[in-house]
Structure 1
């Protein structure tokens, strides 16, 4: 009898153990693919020959997410005003509502940029040291209405940071919109400019979260609005002028991000920005762009920047498919390695290998996942809306946006880039903690984050053309999942999963 009871107990223990190991992970799967899925909920897949695994290490928490989003530009705002109210609302809801991409972090420009209709400054009067004639009148017709309508469409709200491309020519050593440097005698006036901007926008009920000090301080090849700083000059301006001025004016809570250009130059800049306690006092973080390469996200540079200032922001503030006229209602182009960028024609010979033809979707998915896996906490796209030419742009610097419109025909095209961005912005929310992941398949990219509500979002990118089957596990639960070739998936693990 005792032997029988012993055998029965062993059987029950083994059975319980097996059941525990086989307990299924409950998930929701959303996929965008070259084959036609667009954030489509996937419920029917039958993985075969599962040999690879993705393991979420829930106890290994990394950076906290600030947000994802795009930029408010005068060009985008102007185009929205040329559409019917129905299509204008459709686009803003697609970007900012909970049912849409639910953008949480956004950028805008101070003064004009290349994606403006013309060149203008909020300080139009020369030698106006106290900026008594400061005005945001040029933003009132298009830019400010777009931001306000986006705020109305957003239930969760979003952060806005602003970036200047240049000061007015009268403040610069070359007296020009393009290139040149801010004259030291105007450092205090330029710091006041930032403070005045906060007051002017907040008078319009638009709160400003922070700033980047200067868009692309190395310049842009002397093509459109720009103003040059060295790391030492920018740090002098922030440490001795901008930071103290915002603090004195009761705006010390406004975020200041330094640098704001390509990742290859990160080491030089963070070494100066964070050299001492005094130099780093007013810097809240570092801003970066992606134009150094069409495929390399420079993980070593990102790791270096994080390690130099581990408690400060590291945010991708601009990226787009540049030097291309967007393809109209041609989804497959965005999945094909046919696009080029500025470097295809203009990069020096020793850097040409960084600028091959590439697929736009691949570039977005690869870069965002690569950034999240290397301490970046926010990722902001460039223009939200452009026309079929890739403008308007006063310099004819044509680029691609996730949403393309034909204002004359009142038509809207949501490109695959829109859905790619939404895989992150919609499902990884501000305050989420990035989690470490073990991935046995080097041909796919994976990142994961735990949201404030306890849910976990896992984003998987399969650049190759072969379907991939894998086992996804969290703690003691697992599920076999399948992702198509040329596809992005966001897998949501609900809050109640232990």
Structure 2
């Protein structure tokens, strides 16, 4: 019997393709083209596709991509599904409008957002202050008989389920703003500290929440111990937890309760300006084995500390878990550049597996909220009166990464930062390569992007953000 020609045909095709790529690699102007997507400092271009870039003679500052040198594997990019965001999605939009917006935010042909943060109980972006186990003042509930998911089931859970239908690979991180009031020394959701005798009940509160989320088809991959544990807000839920408090709670209660559950514990979930706090917890021999990594916020300090903490504990993961834009920074170009440099590029180069911004959606009055930030800006603004959706600069900053850097991508080496140029690069699982870059200077700059024995010449206007995408064939150069 004659052998099937299919294996021979496939082998011949592969050989011809390899020969063609090898030949192109040595012909000036030949080789894979790069797609270019750009956003300008003046907002005239917003994540717009430009002319493809062909290889050839290149001049300018050299940026070398090396797909053979890899670092962290990416989880993704996204924002927070706060109560405010979920309420707007579920009540301010018609079903058809919501379907279209979710396809745009979470779909592969849209932004592809795939990493969302979820408050456990109320944050300042909730219509009322609540926990998942509220009882009348003076009472307690150590057996959690009053535990209820009724509030998140109104808007948050349906919105998350709808997002997951669009993007089944959605990854969730959950964070509490406060333990139930009866567990705290303040007997209030506002201010106070968790009582030591409530550690067991609070760990059970976490496990009950995580179980209910799994039942809803929303498994939570990561959980932080406490949102912003160094801060006690005046007018919305919060809870101070010192490093010693967090280490003791994790070591004696939360860590054992979540061991083997599939949910990983993240430490800190607060600003860059106090790296000594997560370092103290990671130095605790009883707590550290239960801690998978460190999450960071943007509201103080220098993003370089993320890399310093990672260098001290290279086995721990890094995530960037909160930053909000707002009316305090109204200049489009300045805010866009700062966010791209500090919330996308700096975390990635420090080893972060993902970036999560704050509210996915807010209304034109910067709410709904009760206390807290009165001029924060969402990734999108939704007008409840009309259903009109406005895409804010956060939408485009996220999109430059989330639309092209897929879950499971690995960061590849792109060399040291160049004068005026911030950058980070990735290889997707399909072999395609992605470069994120911004010209932070005040003048146009030329960049020579080197990959193997090919180079691409790129001219970047002042303030410009660009994403370049090469097909999988480029990985073989």
With the shorter chain as reference, the TM-score category is 0.7 to 0.9
Aligned to 2:209: 197
* Alignment check: 8 A CA contact 1:325 1:388 kept: no
Q: How far apart are residue 470 of structure 1 and its match?
A: 1.5
Q: How far apart are residue 448 of structure 1 and its match?
A: 0.4
* Alignment check: 8 A CA contact 1:402 1:415 kept: yes
SS in 2 for 1:42: strand
Aligned to 2:76: 67
Matches of residues 312-391 of structure 1 in structure 2 within 5 Å? 312-322=316-326, 324=327, 333-335=331-333, 359-367=334-342, 368-391=344-367
The answer to whether structure 1 residue 494 and structure 2 residue 471 are counterparts is yes
Distance 1:107 1:17, change over 3 A: closer
Aligned to 1:29: 36
Q: How far apart are residue 462 of structure 1 and its match?
A: 1.8
Structure 2, gaps ≥5 residues long? 1-22
Matches of residues 35-434 of structure 1 in structure 2 within 5 Å? 35-43=43-51, 50-80=59-89, 81-125=91-135, 126-154=139-167, 156-247=168-259, 251=261, 253-266=262-275, 268-292=276-300, 296-297=302-303, 299=304, 301-322=305-326, 324=327, 333-335=331-333, 359-367=334-342, 368-395=344-371, 397-398=373-374, 399-434=376-411
TM-score, normalised to structure 1, is 0.84
| 1:49-68 per-position Cα deviation (integer Å, ceiling 9, x unaligned) | 93222111222212221221
Aligned equivalents of 1:317 and 1:396: distance in 2?
18
Distance 1:279 1:325, change over 3 A: closer
Aligned equivalents of 2:129 and 2:339: distance in 1?
30
SS in 1 for 2:356: strand
Aligned equivalents of 1:447 and 1:237: distance in 2?
37
Aligned residues: CA RMSD: 2.3
Aligned equivalents of 1:415 and 1:360: distance in 2?
11
* Alignment check: 8 A CA contact 1:273 1:280 kept: yes
* Alignment check: 8 A CA contact 1:20 1:476 kept: no
Aligned equivalents of 1:18 and 1:65: distance in 2?
30
Aligned to 1:472: 449
Q: Report the more deviating stretch, 35-44 or 161-170.
A: 35-44
TM-score, normalised to structure 2, is 0.88
Aligned equivalents of 1:32 and 1:402: distance in 2?
16
* Alignment check: 8 A CA contact 1:53 1:471 kept: yes
Q: How far apart are residue 102 of structure 1 and its match?
A: 0.7
SS in 2 for 1:199: helix
SS in 1 for 2:425: strand
Structure 1, gaps ≥5 residues long? 1-15, 328-332, 336-358
Count of residue correspondences: 445
Q: How far apart are residue 85 of structure 1 and its match?
A: 2.5
Q: How far apart are residue 39 of structure 1 and its match?
A: 2.1
SS in 2 for 1:179: coil
